[in-house]
């Protein structure tokens, strides 16, 4: 299958719904060792995604993703705006400006570009209890998928890996942000950023 602008727009709308529906849960997780506002911020980003998709117009996919990411960076609410803005912009970083339909190769480039952009702004790795606990496994799952994997299979593999990564973050000690001061007390609670990343990627996969 090939993915056009309309199809990607529906995926983003589905991802936005997932974030909005789980806003209270995300804030509850964040409240245990953080500021408790992650769900509020993710709801703002979800609303932004909805607004931007509805006003997509004729912009190429790469341009739209960059515009959306730049807008998300301006969302107030701690580091979530800049981090999610970078992640979203990164999805379009390795797409051609005139690439109007996406195939399996395009999706592989999307996740490779996304991870590369995130690694430019954070040194967090798997095990540090951040959103990278979900994003890194997702990107690796896409990279390691068989050459015959299509768009649907690749996004599904990314979502499943991200969900496993978010679940695994329960067993880690927080090393970033306010939560790091709680050290071993954070074991048993997933990272809110990892959970929201998994929700975002699951929404993209289910929107196909």
pTM, entire model: 0.96
Q: What is the predicted pLDDT for the residue at 8?
A: 98
Q: Is residue 121 predicted with pLDDT exceeding 90?
A: yes
Lowest-confidence range among 55-59, 70-74, 175-179, 196-200? Answer: 175-179
Q: What is the pLDDT of residues 56-115, one digit of tens each?
A: 999 999 999 999 999 999 999 888 999 999 999 999 999 998 899 999 999 999 999 999
pLDDT of residue 156: 98
User: In the predicted model, what is the mean pLDDT of residues 129-151?
Assistant: 97
pLDDT of the residue at 177: 85
The C-alpha angle with vertex 132 and arms to 79 and 150, in degrees rounded to 5, equals 120
CB 41 within 8 A of CB 195: no
Q: What beta strand segments (E) does the chain contain?
A: 3-4, 101-102
Residues 133, 138, 143, CA angle at the centre, nearest 5°?
A: 130
């Amino acid at each position: 299958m090939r993915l056009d602008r309309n199809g990607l727009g529906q995926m983003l709308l589905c991802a936005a719904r997932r974030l909005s529906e789980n806003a209270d849960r995300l804030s509850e997780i964040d409240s245990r060792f953080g500021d408790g506002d992650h769900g509020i911020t993710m709801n703002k980003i979800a609303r932004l995604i909805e607004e931007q998709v509805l006003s997509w117009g004729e912009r190429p996919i790469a341009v739209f993703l960059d515009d959306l990411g730049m807008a998300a960076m301006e969302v107030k609410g701690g580091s979530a705006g800049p981090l999610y803005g970078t992640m979203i912009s990164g999805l379009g970083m390795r797409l051609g400006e005139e690439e109007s339909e996406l195939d399996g190769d395009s999706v592989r480039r999307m996740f490779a570009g996304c991870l590369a952009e995130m690694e430019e702004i954070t040194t967090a790795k798997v095990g540090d209890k951040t959103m990278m606990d979900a994003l890194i496994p997702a990107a690796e799952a896409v990279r390691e998928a068989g050459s015959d994997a299509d768009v649907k299979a690749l996004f599904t593999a990314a979502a499943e890996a991200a969900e496993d990564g978010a679940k695994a973050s329960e067993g880690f000690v927080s090393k970033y942000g306010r939560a790091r001061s709680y050290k071993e007390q954070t074991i048993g609670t997933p990272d809110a950023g990892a959970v929201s990343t998994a929700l975002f990627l699951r929404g993209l996969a289910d929107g196909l």
